[in-house]
Structure 1
Amino acid sequence: MIKKIRTTPRREASLSRDRIVEASIELLDRNGEAGLTFRALSERLATGPGALYGHIANKDDLLIAACDAIVARTMSECAIGATPQATLRAMALGMFDTIVAHPWVGSALTRALGQLPIVRLLERTGQQVGALGVPEDEQWAAVSALLSYILGVGGQNAVNGQLARARDIDRSTFLEGLSTTWSQLDPQTYPFTRRVAGRLRSHDDRADFLAGFDFILRGIERSSS
Structure 2
Amino acid sequence: MATRTRRAQRRTEALTRERIVEAAVELLDTAGESGLTFRALTERLATGAGAIYWHVANKNELLDAATDGVVAAALAVEPADSPRDGIRAAALGLFDAIERHPWLAAQLALQLSRSPWGSVTPRIFESIGRQVLALGVPEGSLFTATSALVHYVLGAAGQNAANAGGPPSEVDRAEFLDAVSQAWEELDPGDYPFTRAIAAEIRGHDDREQFLAGIDLVLAGITAVHLGGDAGADR
TM-score (normalizing by structure 1): 0.92
Amino acid across the alignment from 1:196: I
Paired-residue identity, %: 48
User: 1:61 maps to which residue?
Assistant: 61
Taking the TM superposition and a 5 Å limit, the aligned residue runs for 1:55-204 are 55-76=55-76, 78-112=77-111, 113-114=115-116, 115-164=118-167, 170-204=172-206
Q: Give me the whole-angstrom Cα distance separating, in 1, the residues matched to 2:127 and 2:211.
A: 19
Residue 75 of structure 2 aligns to a residue whose secondary structure is: helix
User: 2:36 maps to which residue?
Assistant: 36
TM-score (normalizing by structure 2): 0.88
Alignment deviations for residues 93-147 of structure 1 (CA, whole Å, 9 cap, x no partner):
1110111111211111112232112211111111111111111101100011000
Task: Report the Cα offset of residue 172 of structure 1.
Answer: 1.7
Q: Give me the whole-angstrom Cα distance separating, in 2, the residues matched to 1:40 and 1:83.
A: 45
Q: Is the 8 A contact 1:99 1:155 kept in 2?
A: yes
User: 1:211 maps to which residue?
Assistant: 213
Amino acid across the alignment from 1:161: A
Amino acid across the alignment from 1:197: A
Task: Report the Cα offset of residue 56 of structure 1.
Answer: 0.9
Equivalent of 1:9, from 7, 10, 16? Answer: 7
Aligned length: 218
Mean Cα deviation higher: 155-164 or 189-198: 155-164
Alignment deviations for residues 140-173 of structure 1 (CA, whole Å, 9 cap, x no partner):
00011000011111011111212445xxx93222
Q: Give me the whole-angstrom Cα distance separating, in 2, the residues matched to 1:164 and 1:59.
A: 32
Residue 170 of structure 1 aligns to a residue whose secondary structure is: helix
Q: Is the 8 A contact 2:167 2:176 kept in 1?
A: no
Mean Cα deviation higher: 105-114 or 84-93: 105-114
Task: Report the Cα offset of residue 13 of structure 1.
Answer: 2.2
**CA 1:174/1:221 → structure 2, altered by over 3 Å: closer, same or farther?**
same
Amino acid across the alignment from 2:57: A
Q: Give me the whole-angstrom Cα distance separating, in 2, the residues matched to 1:31 and 1:189.
A: 43
**CA 1:139/1:154 → structure 2, altered by over 3 Å: closer, same or farther?**
same
Q: Give me the whole-angstrom Cα distance separating, in 1, the residues matched to 2:65 and 2:185.
A: 46
Runs of at least 5 residues in structure 1 that lack an aligned partner in the other structure: none
Q: Give me the whole-angstrom Cα distance separating, in 1, the residues matched to 2:62 and 2:92.
A: 26
